[in-house]
Structure 1
């Protein structure tokens, strides 16, 4: 069925292409024939007028003077037209012709020639040219008629030539239109084929965007952004359902165990206090896990409802450092803003201030935590159309075997057992960056440190969110 639909669309495009181009060719051919017809008959009328003047000169003027030289030249050098005839119509005092001539020559031609000095007309296939000649011995209208057989034959040949060329062009247009529609629809068919490979368990597949400057590139980019949101939503949903029970089980088990132990028999005040402290500690852990799960759910399911405003990325980075200072007062975070542009507008982007601040602070806090407060370098660069944030530390790094899984919710690298955490920071940061149509990448060498790069679109190169 998809094939038949694509073929129907291809047939429509081919038909539309043929119809439009054929209409243009037909219009052009009609104009050629129209102007050729006008030119052929205009030329024939001029030839008739010339012969009318010659006839008037030879018959009326030269004959009166007894001069026959001009007549001899006419007979020698000027061909006779098909069915050529000459009429010399004498007019009376009222400039009216002999009544007998009106049956041969159209009356309107004679009256027009008298009124205008010359006139042309047509009666079927016979063409006329009339010339008014007022002489001292009388008034005449000289009329020359003939058939434009050569012109008509030329127009017939031209007509058949235009029809034959139109048919040939139509066949060529059909073939070209088929190739044209096939080429136009090829990206769509490729997208369709690629989209068939995308499923719930394979949401990482993306459509090729090419240069991204044409309509197909924009369509592929929009589709890929939709897949990013779907993938984030599915991952958040799977994480929320699959990991919630696992992560919540430990503190809940500890709380229930402590409560059962306290209620099993009468305890001393010190034992009750110790048990309550344990319950409080596990409840705080439970609250932290619940908040992290809700944050993941918020970025995964509610991405289209976030309030987006104009933000300056450098201000969000500085605010993220303030949050890191509150947790790690002795941190050694250093900023490199040496590549900032002079124009403030180039540092702006569309974003949710709380979510972006959370993403940056999560990455900064992780850098401080896993580097044991060694130096953390935060650099900001502008490479239009993107803003590039790079956060590098000299900490414990991430083992190569763990790198493919660092964005899985609740996953923790094999070398971080001595550090408190829940494996939420990086997945949450990635979800937030994706909501802002950006990218986040991680490079790390175990024992040497980690570098995280966040790429976000500038305000001037991104559409304003609804």
Structure 2
């Protein structure tokens, strides 16, 4: 009986490793043509601008192609990250980090030139303290939560609140969006799951699963609350 159990466990582990390896191989193969298409678009855009051939029609459609390429890149990256998660908890490389300048850097790098001109607002309370965290994971946590806050809301930009408590840092991402149906909240961090009122938006349903995995790997916790006025994602990390 013990041998059968061990054999079953070993077989399951091998299957997970094979699935992870296949996902990794497949997504890497996708990234090569995506990079080639992206480079060709950049060259075409530069050439047309130099030759003064960039009419509004071409500029509009090239911009649309670039946006779709970025969406595809993000989807492939999410799938690749999920493949590594299948094999176990993500490996962390923690660094002592000042969250406020890091958050401002994420805002400027990813959310400062939106077509709708909405901005991410950042508030701070409490005495600033550093935390030890994997910065690659932290960037993914911020970009996923903030992207969703923009994607599923309109009107004023979302709010990022940094509250330095006595024994932990509390990070809240608030939006005034469509909210999350109560029946869907408990499944929200499940890979490939999408809330019933979000299926008309692009996405893989992997972002929040990745966020939870990275938060947990760095010793944190994540919760969500939502109503008709919007959603609030709360992440806490010990100092």
* TM-score (normalizing by structure 1): 0.35
Alpha-carbon distance in 1 for matches of 2:189, 2:141: 13
Matched position secondary structure for 2:180: coil
* Residue matched to 1:395: 177
Question: How far 1:438 sits from its partner (Å)?
Answer: 0.3
Q: Which residue in 1 is equivalent to 2:126?
A: 340
Residues in 2 aligned to 1:394 and 1:431: alpha-carbon distance in whole angstroms: 25
Equivalent residues of 2:173, 2:234 under 8 A apart: yes
Structure 1 residue 448: Cα displacement: 1.7
Report the TM-score, using the length of structure 2 for normalisation. Answer: 0.66
Deviations 1:376-419 (Å, cap 9, x if unpaired)? 12111122221001111110000111111110111111111332
Distance 2:199 2:90 in 1: 36
How many equivalent residue pairs? 183
Highest RCO, 1 vs 2 (Cα 8 Å, sep ≥ 6): 2
**Matches of 1:281 and 1:437, distance apart in 2:** 34
Q: Structure 1 CA distance, aligned partners of 2:68 and 2:105?
A: 30
Q: Where does residue 143 of structure 2 map in the other structure?
A: 361
Displacement after TM superposition at 1:321 (Å): 1.6
**Alignment check: 8 A CA contact 2:174 2:232 kept:** yes
- How far apart, in 1, do the equivalents of 2:169 and 2:119 lie? 24
Q: 1:395 to 1:353 in 2, by over 3 A?
A: same
- Preserved contact between residue 320 and residue 358 of structure 1 (Cα < 8 Å): no
Partner deviation per Cα, 1:160-193 (whole Å, 9 max, x = no partner): xxxxxxxxxxxxxxxxxxxxxxxxxxxxxxxxxx
1:455 and 2:236 matched: yes
The Cα of 1:328 is off from its aligned counterpart by 5.7
| Stretch of structure 1 that moved more, 287-296 or 366-375 | 287-296
2:118 aligned partner: 331
SS in 2 for 1:451: strand
Report the equivalent of 2:78. 292
Any unmatched runs of 5+ in structure 1?
1-199, 201-233, 252-276, 459-466
SS at match of 1:375: coil
Structure richer in helix, relative to its length: 1
Question: RMSD across aligned C-alpha pairs, in angstroms?
Answer: 3.2
1:283 offset after TM fit, Å? 8.2
Q: Unaligned 5+ residue runs, structure 2?
A: 1-8, 31-61
Cα offset, 1:351, TM superposition: 1.1
User: 1:430, 1:305 → 2: CA distance?
Assistant: 14
Partner Cα separation in structure 1 for residue 160 and residue 234 of structure 2: 10
Structure of greater Rg: 1
- CA deviations 1:182-219 (Å, max 9, x no partner) are xxxxxxxxxxxxxxxxxx9xxxxxxxxxxxxxxxxxxx
The alpha-carbon deviation at position 284 of structure 1 amounts to 7.3
Task: Choose from 291, 314, 318 the match for 2:104.
Answer: 318
The residue aligned with 1:89 is none
CA shift, 1:325, in A, is 2.7
Shift of 1:286: 5.7
1: CA distance, partners of 2:71 / 2:107: 24
Matched, 1:425 2:207: yes
- Residues 313-365 of structure 1 show CA distances to partners (whole Å, capped at 9, x for unaligned) of 1122212222123556622321111x231xx5xx2111111110110111011
Given that 2:92 and 2:217 are in contact with CA atoms closer than 8 Å, whether structure 1 keeps it comes out as no
